[in-house]
Amino acid sequence: MENWRGLKAIPGEDYCRVVIHYPSDTDSKWKDPKTGEPEGLSFEFNLCEAVASWEQMH
C-alpha cells in the first residue's frame, strides 16, 4: 500500500506487524547518536501493541 508521499506499508511476519518504507530518494534527516550515521528509512511497527497502548490510555 502506498500513500501520497510515497510511503509504503509492507505486511510483516503476522497481521500485527507492518514495515513502513520511505521512498528510496528520501534523504535521512536523523542520525544515530552513537555513530553519527544517517538512520535507516524503514521502520517496523506492531499495530496490536499500539492499539493496546492507546486503549490503556483512553
CA-based nearest residue to 49, from 8, 4, 1, 12: 12
User: What is the structure's pLDDT at 4?
Assistant: 54
User: What is the structure's pLDDT at 46?
Assistant: 93
Q: How far apart are CA 48 and CA 1, in angstroms?
A: 19
For residue 27, CA distances in Å to 31, 47, 57 come to 11, 26, 34
Is the pLDDT assigned to residue 58 strictly greater than 80? no
pLDDT digits (tens, 9 = 90+) for 11-57: 888 889 999 888 888 888 888 889 988 888 888 889 999 999 998 88
